[in-house]
A and B are shown apart, each in its own frame.
Chain A
Amino acid sequence: MTEIQSTGDDSRVEVMVPDKVPDDGMVDDAVRKKLGVGFWIAVGWLGLLVATVLLAPFLPLDEPNKLGAGPARTGPSLDNWFGTDALGRDVFARTVYGARVSLVVGFIAIAFGMVVGGSLGLVAGYFRGRVDQVISFLFFTLLSFPGLILALLITSTFDRTLRTVSLTLGVLAVAPVGRLARAATLVFAEREFVQAARVIGAKHFRIMTRELLPVVLIPMAALALLGMGVAIVAEGGLAFLQLSVEDISWGVIINDGRGIRDLQENPHVALMPIGVMFLTILALNFAGDRVREFFDVRETAFQK
């Protein structure tokens, strides 16, 4: 669940396969394609979140680390929407500031995965042969570490800055994204428009960036949304191991509030940010799923 993983064998990464479920023998009509209202609700939530994070300094919020923003260990109230924690810090303010780190980590991680994994996958799928073997083996090796273990290995070797943590989680995204890009490239490289470009003697680089990249990006887009959720969750996992950023993230806040005493006396400290985090992951998953269905991509590379 907190993993970015892929299956062990390339043949199992399926791309662009319509995923229609026959309706109990009924003659099925073409499914009308729509992103649907749920998609827009999900996007709306994500938009609200991003806006809140950007505007946080201008909102009438307490300092996230200010002690005694209210009496300690009080439940949700009008003054402290999410209540206060054992040190009297405002949980709502902390959740908003925690969103900043979590979203940034998620975004950088998946962006890194997309750029590095996407390029490697494209190159492997396009050139095939030796290049493909080497790159595929690299993916396979990366996937041979249980994800969080690899993250732990990297963060324990380097430091725990926002940059390191983000890039570490980005490394986790490289192999799954790369495999998808490779599989998609393999499919599209056979299509007429690419063959045509080859025939007229276009340069490899040009074919890859102009012809292949745009179509390979479609299945990757769905994966980006799902992957961002996975990265945010993974950051939370690292926070629980005290190996994440030395700053406020959702994982950090939840970890702060999960002690037996805290849970017994003021469970809102953990449960409120859990609720917000759940809604966010739900929104990312849902939006990603809709995009995936919209483009008819069946994807087994991500295990949530």
Chain B
Amino acid sequence: MKQFILRRVAQLVLVVFAVTFLTFASLNLVGDPLFNIVGVLSGIPDEQCEAVERGEISDTQSSGLNMGDCALIAQAKEQNNLDKNVVERYGIWLSDMVSGDFGTSFVNGDEISDIVRERLPVTIRLIVLAQIVALGIAIPWGVASAYRANRGFDKVSTVGSFGLLSIPNFALGVILLYFFALRWQIFPSRYENAGWWSELKALTLPALTLGLGLAATYQRLLRTDLITTLQEDFVHMARAKGMSDRHIMYRHALRPSMFSVITVFGVNTGALIGGALVVEQIFSIPGIGTELVEAVLRNDPPVVISLISVVAIGFVLINFFVDLMYGYLDPRVRTS
């Protein structure tokens, strides 16, 4: 087990490097990094700015420049260490990230760490709620369909889950929004947060949007695993011990049948992060996804790469912990 953890930690570190480097490289290797940061201003020749600095010309209309353009370029160069090579820049950026300094937006000067602090919790709440919805639906659903496998309820479930898996989440979001928020007005159509209750209500439809399809995924996996588990001798043994079917399903069969669900749990958290981007748009939720999309649209690469790195690292960590979960689920893994 110890070795297993060590191996996974090593892998974790490697992947974090790879992921952050890929993200960083997209800003710094593709095209001109200065252009990526300051846009068309990067077209200003260096000599012109040097001349401005020496006071030979002024950065006003006459020279084709705007007030402060050169200062801006200088600041961009300095902040992003553009005079250093890519690997060095990556190193500096990464160590800044690690120490919690995510840099600043070049468009509006916002501290990126502030953005993360403000936006991330909303998204996390949404994703957690979505997982709760998904598991809360999938577990009883999977148990019910495995209990009488291939009978009426199970057959209907199969059709139902297949249908759910075929609805794109943005489509489901629009449908839920249309019926539950606009037509029947049971839930708000946009995010609001006047206390936890109002936020919970506002996050219900988004969480359902993300969670329903996931519930279907989990239900399929759980059902298959449960059917296998129910053939096991220890289930017969539990019945011979006189336990009720309900007790056997939930107390004996469920836990050993959660492997596939746990296996995809981490991966699906990734799917949820992606889904959250879209769902935040539909329900106007001020989460990290909305901020990310806005940053992309307003062409703000420092924010984009920092946010993507934060999300990707979070995702890698989740998967890491999911792997460790196996040990809890199956004591046999712990010792082997």
Q: Which residue numbers of A lie inside 8 Å of B, CB to CB?
A: 1-3, 5-9, 12, 19, 21-25, 137, 140-141, 143-149, 152-154, 156-158, 229, 233, 236-237, 240-243, 251, 254-255, 258, 260, 263-264, 267, 270-271, 274, 277-278, 281-282, 285-286, 289, 300, 303-304
Contacts and interface: CB of A to CB of B under 8 A. Distances in A.
Contacts of B274: 2-3, 146-149, 237
Contacts of A7: 263-264, 267
Interface in B167-196: 167-171, 174-175, 177-178, 182, 189
B260 interface: yes
Nearest to A242: B297
B30 A1 contact: no
Of the four ranges (under 10, 10 to 19, 20 to 34, 35 or more), the interface on chain B belongs to 35 or more
Contact of A5 (B23, B174, B270): B270
27 contacts: A2-B169, A5-B271, A7-B264, A7-B267, A8-B263, A8-B319, A23-B150, A140-B11, A140-B15, A143-B270, A145-B22, A146-B270, A148-B273, A149-B292, A154-B26, A157-B27, A158-B30, A236-B170, A237-B168, A237-B275, A240-B170, A240-B278, A240-B282, A270-B174, A278-B168, A282-B166, A300-B264
A242 to B, nearest CB: 7
A144 B273 CA distance: 12
Interface stretch (B99-107, B244-252, B309-317): B309-317
Contacts of A270: 174, 178
B308 interface: yes
Most chain A CB atoms below 10 A, which of B15, B162, B278, B292: B278
Given A254-B171, A274-B171, A144 B227 contact: no
Interface string B1-39: 000000000010011001100110011001100000000
Given A1-B275, A24-B149, A152-B296, A12 B263 contact: yes
A157 B322 CA distance: 31
Contact of A286 (B18, B162, B175, B311): B162
Most chain B CB atoms below 10 A, which of A1, A145, A255, A286: A1
A235 to B, nearest CB: 10
If over half of A's interface residues share one DSSP class (helix, strand or loop), that class is named, otherwise mixed; here it is helix
Contacts of A143: 267, 270
A141 B19 contact: yes
